[in-house]
Amino acid sequence: MTTPAGRIVAVTGGTRGIGLGLAQALLATGHRVAVCGTDSQRVAKMAAELPHALVTTADVTDRDSLQRFWDATVDRFGGVDVWINNAGVSHTRAPVWELSESETRTVVSTNLIGVLNGCAVAIAGLAATGGGHVWNMEGLGSDGRTVPGLTVYGATKRAVTYLTKGLAREVPAGVTVGLLSPGMVVTDLLTGGYADPEEQAKARKVFNILADRVETVTPWLAERAVTRTRNGEHVAWLTTGKVIGRFATAPFRRRDLFAEIPES
């Protein structure tokens, strides 16, 4: 597959985890990249480590803040070809009624309102400048599967999938949208939030079968993010066939994804 050279890609939540992995992979293959995050210290650190990228502070829950991120990207690189709504947070693994209103609001505001804001800014901007593609990031719950203790997170991801499918039917000419599904990736988003060490140990056994590290998944996703930009596109790393295959071969291979987890 030939990757179009020199695409301009903006990634929200791009200073850690999957977003950072995408940025690094895109930079390594000759693309121009802008990333944003909310932690000013982390932004400063990544700006030093990614000297060829635009790294700036932006809050996805604030549409004006995302508009400034868009404007800064256009000022730096002359436009945007691909926008990736990657920013997301999880919550303590607990039933809805045990989560504080503050924690619930943070998850919904970041994972759903943040994506809505990103879509609004990017689609309007792309429509005004000749077109381009918007990706929204799927996660646990996107397919309707439920996991006790992660209901709020899953509900936001289910909503993002619905949102993206709806947008595919109403985007203006020249603009396309799609879904990126990274599967299980070993970041704080996947492994955090466990209050019970025994429950965490059980989960790690499953993760060692189905999950992958950031540096394994993101180059694959990054290539497709700039090449598979048809409207309504769905790019999934962890397919049903791959899940079946991994469980079938699990007794014969040993994986320890947590031996030396890179900083995320």
Q: Which residues are catalytic?
A: 153
Helix, strand, coil percentages for the chain (3-state, nearest 5): 50, 15, 35
Structure tokens at 69: 């991120």
162 by Cβ neighbours in 10 Å (0-12 / 13-18 / 19+) ranks as: exposed
Instruction: Round to whole Å and give the CA distance between 221 and 213.
Output: 13
Instruction: Round to whole Å and give the CA distance between 12 and 20.
Output: 9
Instruction: Round to whole Å and give the CA distance between 158 and 138.
Output: 8
